[in-house]
């Protein structure tokens, strides 16, 4: 990184390591003595020449002796770094929407640029603009969708950590709609913040659709509710209408009678779910005459309607506290619908359940052989209890063999298997299970019939065993789990007692259910977005995977994709990343997007479909009244000052008077062996050469 400097100086001095400078005297005496011995009996008649040769030999020998002391040459470089002035310009949409009456934006832009030019005469200047992200240079278009002051301060702290930051000149309206209040950032900074107060602090006539709260996911046949907040400013006595319309034919409205200048009200609108898929909902407030902006009167939201939850059946031999614990943990995920039944009253249509949890079944009183035969293609989770007929259970599944010893019940602690890979648990969850209560099951020999995955092994007292406590298997696409012990309710109760939550046990049950109920994806070509919902100021990315006949990833073929939304098409080609594919589609307009991707591997053509949402962001227009108090506080907390746009020309003088904005002097020291210096080596050669030449010329050699 280049630094601007106003002065540079270099000082040299000798450094003798740990030796005293008095060692120079023996070096001089040695040089004098050898030179004296050589030239005292010389027959040279030219006294000047004799003394000159004596001096050359004296200096040469003294320097050579001096080098034996290994002296270092110490250099001190002093550099003066000018202060760095950062000019940060708010490029968000709220500034353009709320300019005060009589504000000359063209003149302001000129003055703002001139400020940067004038400051560059005495300081180093860096210009930034911020909104959704931090960018270099000026940006007077004011189209950014969000304002984040904290992001700006973080950026400056990271990018200019080792620089002499003198001050920040921050031009903004003070409206924040993302991240935290920046007052603490300014207070903790080592430099003053000078603010230019833009926008208008006087509220103007405006109706604003402030907020719409809704569930992103609803289920077919269920009603869902929108919570809509409407605000109005300087519109007392005005009437308007709040309307809600959907793409499945629903339309509702609500009269708005505004009876105050600062008016706010919340409305609850109920809607039906008539068909599955993406429901587009337009929420709008009818505009009125003289309104500041109509862009904040409407929001378009999207709700995904699913065709029912994944159904889970808990079928138990008898009432047991484990059943309630399982039900509560599973229902934490709204994608699951749990039904509980006892073996005396088995529900019909068992095949409608994606997962059946058998608690203490089969038992001696309820063999349920016919139920197990009907559900051979359902995912199943057996929980072994003291009433379980272990011999029958051993015959009815192909994961674990259970050899009963008829020695009553046994307590089993959970010992986690670190090599389990079917799904992952948080480290804290793993640690909690090491200290939870034991489960209880019939004492028996538990071993695998076929290959399975063990999450927990049985631990008896302090002795770890190889017997599985919780294991998973997959046979021909049918997933099975067996927990060899009852008492999950104790786990959940003890987890809450120790940590005031059920997070560990609920995570275990939830992820086990997700794994068991998830269907294996056997598609050879898969395309999926990085997320189901993007915001319009967020880059849209998609991933693709192509498998050959051996189900190995293969990206030799080209993958093309076509995105569609509201009659518009966008075509792209995926990039090859590693063995897969990735696409960065950039920023897309808000809307509901469907996509179709195509590729060809060998003689086989593949295609994949899907959809995702891009949500509009209108937060910049939800508040249009400038917050100059925030700008004043930012400046006051950092020893800066707030000025109005017409006072920009005063900023250079204010910055110059601030004692915090000063040039910093840096001193850099370096050491080098004197013998390594080329000029010193050249001096020795010169002395030798001159003496040799004079001795040769005068017949002394």
- Check residue 6 and give its pLDDT: 42
**Pairing relation of β-strands 298-306 and 217-219?**
parallel
Radius of gyration over every alpha carbon of the chain, rounded to an integer in angstroms: 41
- Mean pLDDT value of segment 57-81: 79
**Pairing relation of β-strands 453-460 and 463-475?**
antiparallel
Secondary structure (DSSP) of 479-548? EEEEE--B-HHHHHHHHHHHHSS-HHHHHHHHHHHHHHHSPP---SEEEEES-SEEETTS-EEEEEEEB-
- Check residue 3 and give its pLDDT: 41
- Mean pLDDT value of segment 424-438: 87
Per-residue tokens: 619: 């937060």
According to the CATH classification, is domain 310-517 in 3.40.50.880? yes
Domain boundaries in the chain?
Answer: 5-79+670-697, 83-202+625-657, 206-305, 310-517, 525-615
Residue 126: pLDDT band (50, 70, 90) is: very high
Q: Distance between CA atoms of 484 and 471, rounded to whole angstroms?
A: 9
Q: What share of the chain is helix, strand, coil (3-state, %, to 5)?
A: 25, 40, 35
Of 343 and 93, more confident = 343
- Kindly list the distances between the CA atom of residue 316 and the CA atoms of 5, 30, 42, 219, in Å, as whole numbers in the listed order: 81, 106, 122, 28
Of 267 and 61, more confident = 267
H helices of 598-677, where? 628-637, 651-657
Give how far the C-alpha of residue 489 lies from the chain's centroid of Cα atoms, to the nearest Å: 36
- Check residue 16 and give its pLDDT: 53
- Check residue 118 and give its pLDDT: 93
- Mean pLDDT value of segment 508-525: 85
Domains 206-305 and 525-615 share a fold: yes
Q: Distance between CA atoms of 221 and 219, rounded to whole angstroms?
A: 6
- Check residue 73 and give its pLDDT: 72
- Mean pLDDT value of segment 500-517: 91
Of 697 and 619, more confident = 697
Give the global pTM.
Answer: 0.55
Of 479 and 6, more confident = 479
Provide the 8-state DSSP code for 375: T
Q: Where do we find the tokens 């599973």?
A: 330
Of 49-53, 270-274, 317-321, 577-581, least confident by mean pLDDT is 49-53
Q: Which residues contact 536 (CB under 8 A, 6 or more apart)?
A: 145, 587, 588, 589, 590, 614, 615, 616, 617
Residue 12: pLDDT band (50, 70, 90) is: very low
- Mean pLDDT value of segment 625-637: 89
Helix (H, G, I), strand (E, B) or coil at 616: coil
- Check residue 220 and give its pLDDT: 80
- Mean pLDDT value of segment 491-519: 90
Of 24 and 3, more confident = 24
- Mean pLDDT value of segment 532-554: 87
- Mean pLDDT value of segment 556-560: 95
- Whether 2 has a pLDDT exceeding 50, the answer reads no
- Check residue 1 and give its pLDDT: 37
Per-residue tokens: 300: 């378009």
Q: Distance between CA atoms of 621 and 234, rounded to whole angstroms?
A: 16
Tell me which CATH homologous superfamily contains domain 525-615.
Macroglobulin (MG2) domain (2.60.40.1930)
| ∠ Cα 86 175 108 (to 5°) | 55
Give how far the C-alpha of residue 69 lies from the chain's centroid of Cα atoms, to the nearest Å: 58
Q: Pick from 44-53, 613-622, 653-662 the range whose average pLDDT is largest.
A: 653-662
- How is domain 83-202+625-657 classified at the architecture level of CATH? 3-Layer(aba) Sandwich (3.40)
Q: Which residues contact 40 (CB under 8 A, 6 or more apart)?
A: none
Topology, domain 206-305: Immunoglobulin-like (2.60.40)
Q: What is the pLDDT of residues 356-408, one digit of tens each?
A: 999 999 999 999 999 998 888 889 999 999 999 999 999 999 899 998 877 78
Provide the 8-state DSSP code for 437: P
Per-residue tokens: 189: 């900074």
- Whether 179 has a pLDDT exceeding 70, the answer reads no
Average pLDDT over all residues of the chain: 86
Of 195-204, 562-571, 581-590, least confident by mean pLDDT is 195-204
- Whether 189 has a pLDDT exceeding 90, the answer reads no
- Whether 582 has a pLDDT exceeding 90, the answer reads yes
């Amino acid at each position: 990184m280049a630094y601007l400097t106003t002065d540079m100086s270099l000082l040299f001095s000798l450094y003798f390591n740990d030796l005293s400078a008095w060692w120079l005297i023996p070096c001089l005496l040695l040089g004098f003595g050898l030179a004296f011995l050589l030239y005292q009996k010389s027959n040279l008649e030219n006294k000047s020449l004799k003394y000159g040769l004596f001096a050359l030999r004296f200096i040469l020998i003294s320097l050579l002796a001096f080098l034996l002391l290994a002296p270092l040459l110490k250099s001190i470089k002093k550099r003066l770094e000018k202060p760095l002035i950062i000019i940060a310009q708010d490029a968000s949409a709220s500034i353009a929407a709320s300019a005060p009456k009589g504000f000359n934006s063209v003149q302001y832009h000129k003055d703002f640029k001139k400020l940067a030019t004038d400051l560059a005469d005495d300081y180093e200047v860096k210009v930034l603009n911020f909104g959704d992200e931090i960018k270099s240079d000026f940006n007077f278009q004011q189209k950014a969708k969000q304002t984040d002051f904290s992001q700006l301060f973080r950026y400056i702290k990271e990018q200019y950590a080792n620089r002499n930051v003198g001050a920040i000149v921050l031009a903004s309206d003070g409206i924040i709609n993302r991240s935290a209040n920046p007052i603490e950032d300014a207070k903790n900074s080592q430099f003053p913040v000078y603010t230019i107060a833009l926008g208008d602090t006087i509220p103007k006539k405006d109706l604003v659709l402030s907020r719409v709260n809704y569930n992103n996911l609803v289920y077919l046949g269920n009603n869902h509710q929108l919570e809509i907040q409407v605000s109005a400013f300087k519109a007392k006595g005005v009437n308007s209408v709040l309307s809600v319309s959907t793409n499945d034919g629903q339309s509702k409205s609500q009269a708005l009678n505004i009876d105050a200048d600062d008016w706010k009200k919340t409305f609850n609108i109920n809607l039906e779910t008539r068909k599955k898929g993406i429901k587009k909902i337009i929420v709008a407030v009818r505009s009125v005459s003289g309104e500041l902006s109509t862009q904040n009167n409407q929001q378009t939201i999207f709700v995904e309607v699913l065709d029912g939850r994944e159904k889970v059946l808990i079928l138990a031999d008898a009432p047991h506290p484990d059943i309630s614990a399982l039900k509560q943990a599973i229902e934490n995920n709204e994608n699951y619908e749990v039904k509980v039944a006892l073996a005396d009253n088995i529900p019909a249509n068992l095949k409608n359940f994606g997962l059946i949890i058998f608690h203490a079944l089969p038992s001696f009183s309820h063999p349920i052989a016919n139920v197990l035969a009907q559900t051979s293609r359902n995912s199943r989770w057996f929980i072994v209890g003291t009433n379980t007929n272990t011999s029958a259970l051993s015959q009815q599944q192909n994961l674990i063999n259970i050899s009963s010893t008829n020695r009553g019940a046994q307590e089993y602690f959970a010992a986690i298997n670190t090599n389990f890979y079917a799904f992952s648990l948080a480290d804290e969850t793993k640690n909690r299970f090491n200290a939870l209560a034991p489960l209880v099951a019939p004492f028996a020999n538990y071993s695998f019939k076929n290959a399975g995955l063990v999450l927990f092994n049985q631990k008896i007292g302090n002795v770890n065993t190889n017997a599985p406590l919780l294991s998973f298997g997959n046979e021909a696409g049918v997933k099975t789990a067996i927990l060899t012990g009852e008492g999950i309710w104790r786990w959940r109760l003890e987890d809450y007692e120790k940590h005031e939550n059920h997070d560990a046990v609920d995570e275990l049950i939830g992820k086990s259910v997700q794994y068991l109920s998830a269907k294996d994806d056997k598609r050879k070509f898969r395309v999926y977005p990085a997320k189901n919902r993007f915001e319009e100021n967020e880059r849209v990315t998609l991933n693709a995977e192509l498998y050959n006949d051996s189900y190995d990833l293969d990206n030799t073929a080209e993958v093309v994709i076509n995105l569609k939304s509201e009659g518009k098409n966008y075509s792209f080609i995926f990039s090859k990343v590693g063995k897969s594919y990735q696409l960065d589609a950039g920023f897309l307009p808000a809307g509901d997007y469907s996509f179709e991707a195509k590729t060809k591997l060998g003689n086989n053509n593949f295609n994949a479909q899907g959809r995702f949402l891009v949500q509009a962001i209108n937060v910049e227009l939800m508040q249009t009244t400038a917050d100059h108090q925030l700008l004043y506080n930012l400046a006051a907390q950092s020893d800066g000052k707030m000025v109005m746009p017409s006072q920009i020309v005063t900023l250079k003088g204010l910055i110059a008077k601030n004692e915090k904005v000063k040039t910093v002097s840096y001193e850099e020291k370096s050491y080098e062996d004197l013998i390594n210096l080329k000029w010193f080596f050249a001096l020795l050669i010169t002395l030798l050469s001159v003496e040799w030449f004079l001795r040769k010329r005068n017949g002394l050699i």
